[in-house]
Amino acid sequence: MSQHSLGDDVSIANVAAVAGVSTATVSRVLSGRRRKDDDLSRRVRAAAKQLNYSVNYAASALRSAKTNSIGLIVPELNNSLYSSLTQAIEPAVNHAGKQLILGIGSTAAEQEQRIRLVLSHRVDALIIIPVETEFIVPFLETVAKQIPVVQLLSQTYSNKLDWVGISETTVMQIIADHLSTAGARSVAYIGSSTDDLDGMTLFTAFHMQMTVSGLSTYTEWIHFTQESVDSGYRIMQKILSDHSFYPESVICSDGLTAVGVYRACAAAGLSVPEEIKIAVLHDSALCENGTFESVSFTSVQLPWDRIAAEAVTLVAAEQERKSWLPSRRELEPELIIRKSTVVSS
């Protein structure tokens, strides 16, 4: 395997000598072919760091069928859900001794273009959050015949693609059950767009779980928007002004929207959580800390690090042995209960 130093002219033999291992072991650890995270691997990585030594992936690719690179395609980075995932994937890929090549596409056409671009770099595998699945899935199935493809978060209707993520039904269920237990009898929903599978799946799950949990809702209380404080404020202001009664709880897609909802409630003289409870579908630092004028928000924490690790492990395993039966790895989310839904005793 070809290597290079970012500092002095250091060879793989130097790293092996400092770590007290063979050059073959150094090669396996730094290329990601040795997956055990034990003392030996840590010694090799520490020695490489000490000597300012790194893998030259491009030169290695000339000598191998593998490029030690993984493509990641996401719809956007402005969305807190997708940015959180990207932040978790990058270190997981690096830990595996590989490079991450990122592509951003908000439509099926854009995603196909980005996929073709990362394929031109001869990536070993592809991880993707697909959009407009009815259009992009056939293309992904074709790509999957050549390299491993793992879909994240939403599950497609394809029986040929691996998947790692969480059940949106479970996310909605734990929020609805909590709001009901906390005393709410009605709920409004301010979600993300239903143009993508994530938004549509969440909205479908919302309808199902409201019936099961005994929470009532109205068409006028259901809205879709891009995440922002202004959007949350305007929508909640409209909900509160259109009726002689208001929902006892609100489910928001994200923390920014929740802050806007909180401000609208405060402007209307309604206290949170005593009169209106607010819950958020996806946790963030904003939910945890709130702002100087809002409380912290009850939200669902997704296991980002585990999702990332499972995806990287899966593509590595699939490179060595592709099974005819795709893998489906569903991970459990956790509800973090905070001040926006709990009345102080």
Encode pLDDT of 253-307 as tens digits.
999 999 999 999 999 999 999 999 999 998 988 999 988 888 999 999 999 999 9
Whichever domain contains 263, its CATH number is 3.40.50.2300
Q: Are strands 125-128 and 69-74 parallel, antiparallel or unpaired?
A: parallel
Residue 14 has pLDDT above 50, yes or no: yes
Give how far Cα 222 sits from Cα of 46, 49, 124, 216, 226, Å.
Answer: 53, 53, 43, 12, 14
47 and 124 belong to one structural domain? no
- For residues 276 and 310, membership in a common domain is answered with no
Whether residue 12 is found in the same domain as residue 41: yes
State the pLDDT at residue 159. 76
- Residue 5 is predicted with a pLDDT of 39
Count how many domains the chain has. Answer: 3
Q: Cα–Cα distance between 204 and 244 in angstroms, integer? A: 27
Q: In this predicted structure, what is the pLDDT of residue 56?
A: 59
The closest of 14, 31, 32 to 23, measured between CA atoms, is 14
CA distance 331 to 18: 40
- Which two tokens mark 22? 């063979």
Residues 94-110 have pLDDT tens digits of: 888 889 999 999 889 99
Query: Vertex 236, ends 235 and 238: CA angle to 5°?
Result: 65
Helix ranges (H only) for 33-165 are 39-50, 57-63, 80-95, 108-120, 133-143
Helix (H, G, I), strand (E, B) or coil at 226: coil
User: Is residue 343 one of the residues assigned to a domain?
Assistant: no
Same domain, residue pair 255 and 276: yes
Please, how many CA atoms are within 13 Å of residue 55, restricted to the half-sphere of its CB?
Answer: 24
Tell me whether residue 148 is in a domain.
yes
Count the neighbouring beta carbons within 10 Å of the beta carbon of residue 312: 25
Scan for tokens 């997704």, then name that residue.
302
Q: What range defines the domain where residue 30 resides?
A: 3-63
User: Distance between CA atoms of 273 and 297, rounded to whole angstroms?
Assistant: 10
Query: Whole-angstrom Cα distance, residue 83 to residue 256?
Result: 14
Query: What is the DSSP secondary structure assignment for residue 286, as one 8-state letter?
Result: H
Mean of pLDDT values over 321-337: 82
Q: Is residue 337 assigned to a domain?
A: no
